[in-house]
Amino acid sequence: MSEATPRRASERAQTALREQILSGDLPGGTRLGEVELAERLGLSRTPVREALSRLAAEGLVELHAHRGARVTEFTETDLEDIFDVRRALEPRATERAAGRASTADLDELDALAQEMLAIGSPGPGQDLDRLVELNQRFHARLLEIAAAPTLTAALAGVVHAPVVLRTFHSYDAASLARSLAHHVEIVAALRAGDGGWAAAVMVSHLANARAVMTAARGVLPTAPSGVNRNDGCS
């Protein structure tokens, strides 16, 4: 078997498991047995093991010695803490970006916002997984433009937390449209050099996301009561 083949198998397993975790098909607390996953994905255990290690690095999976792998669980307290930190820091970073964004920066943000609009609209072209990726890039780029290392370091863990990544899978059509419109308006505020406007839109943006996640009970779904959480990994 060539070197590229197992790498592709591992990436395929990682992609499939990530999608199932973010969509809630694999709820928080679910035990992830290598043998069972390998059989279900039609792969050997080695690429599955590698995929689980990568997902653990992303924060989607927890690996425990002698107990195996489980989907990471997030409590309502975790959710509150995450959005409290974002509400305190991200509008400030967005305000700072207004005075630092170049035309090229703004064009890049605008391209991301417009692509999100295109693939976020309901219909056959909707791609929520791609939307998650673009949203991450948009928010990360804002932090880079703000040139605020301390704010960036403080926000890094919460902006990319798995419970945040799953937000788009919980939106209804109206909330999703509102979120996508916020990105466009943030870019408009930055182009106008109006930091206060940009920060205010970010506050509304975060409030929208928080409301959506709270309505969805604010956590990655937990494993049903019938799941044995004490079994070791196969």
Pairing of strands 61-64, 31-32: unpaired
| Whole-model pTM over 0.85 | no
CATH superfamily of 76-215: GntR ligand-binding domain-like (1.20.120.530)
Quote the pLDDT of residue 66: 79
Q: Say if residue 197's pLDDT is above 90.
A: yes
Quote the pLDDT of residue 125: 86
The residues with which 31 forms a beta bridge, in sequence order, are 70
Residue range(s) in the chain whose domain bears CATH number 1.20.120.530: 76-215
Helices 76-98 + 195-215 axis angle, to 10: 160
Which whole number is the average pLDDT over 40-57?
93
Q: Say if residue 52's pLDDT is above 90.
A: yes
DSSP E strand boundaries for 54-141: 61-64, 68-71
Percent of the chain's residues with pLDDT above 70: 87
Q: How far is CA 226 from CA 31, 39, 48, 103, 111, in A?
A: 12, 22, 24, 55, 46
Residue range(s) in the chain whose domain bears CATH number 1.10.10.10: 4-71
Which whole number is the average pLDDT over 4-13?
80
Which whole number is the average pLDDT over 133-153?
92
Q: Does the domain spanning 4-71 belong to CATH 1.10.10.10?
A: yes
Q: How does pLDDT run across 85-101, given as a tens digit for each residue?
A: 999 999 999 999 999 99
Q: H or E stretch including 31?
A: strand 31-32
CA 5 from centroid of its chain's CA atoms: 28
Which of 29-43, 103-117, 147-161 is the most confident on average? 103-117
CB 93 within 8 A of CB 146: yes
- Classified as helix, coil or strand, 66 is coil
| Eight-class DSSP state of 121 | S
Q: Say if residue 4's pLDDT is above 60.
A: no
